[in-house]
């Protein structure tokens, strides 16, 4: 295996983990973001928590789809 494939596998695992985290734990993802912004002196709150949870889950699916598409393109190209 070449170094490129090892890097691709590493990024794929990280990306799939992050995407899965966004899908299955959107509340925690939002809370982590809120805490980060509080540390840099910004206060953020979603106007609609229901929409924010939905959008976070969608973002997780998008991350997973992009990671898988990239992996397929690299491995077949």
Digitized pLDDT (tens) for each residue of the chain, 77 residues in all: 689 888 888 999 999 999 999 999 999 999 999 999 999 999 999 899 999 999 999 999 999 999 999 989 888 87
Q: Give the pLDDT of residue 1.
A: 65
Residue found by looking up tokens 């949870």 in the block: 53
Q: Can you give the pTM of this predicted structure? A: 0.85
Q: What's the DSSP call for residue 45?
A: -
Q: Number of H helices and number of E strands within the chain?
A: 3, 0
């Amino acid at each position: 295996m070449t170094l490129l494939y090892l890097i691709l596998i590493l990024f794929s695992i990280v990306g799939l983990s992050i995407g899965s985290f966004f899908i299955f734990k959107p509340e925690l993802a939002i809370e982590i973001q809120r805490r980060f912004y509080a540390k840099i002196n910004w206060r953020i709150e979603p106007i609609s928590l229901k929409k924010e949870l939905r959008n976070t889950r969608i973002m997780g699916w998008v991350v997973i789809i992009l990671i898988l598409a990239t992996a397929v393109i690299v491995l077949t190209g």
